[in-house]
Structure 1
Amino acid sequence: MKDIFFFDSMLTPKIITFVYWLMLLSVLISGIGTMFIGHGGGFFAGMGILIGGAIGARIWCELLIVLFKIHANLQKIADKSE
Structure 2
Amino acid sequence: MKDVLYFNSMLTPKMITFIYWLLLLLVLFNGVVRMFATFQGITFTSFIMGLLTIIGGAIAARITCELLIVLFKIHDNVKTLASRPE
| Gapped regions of structure 2 (runs ≥ 5) | none
The CA deviation at 1:39 is 4.2
What is the one-letter code of the residue matched to 1:49?
A: T
- Number of residue pairs the alignment of both structures matches: 82
TM-score (norm 1): 0.93
Equivalence for 1:16? 16
> Residues of 2 paired with 1:21 and 1:38: CA distance?
26
Alpha-carbon RMSD across the aligned residues, in angstroms, is 1.5
Deviations 1:40-74 (A, max 9, x none): 76110001100000000000000000000000000
Tell which structure's C-alpha radius of gyration is larger.
2
In structure 1, the gaps of 5 or more residues are: none
Equivalent residue, structure 2, for 1:71? 75
Percent identity between matched residues is 57
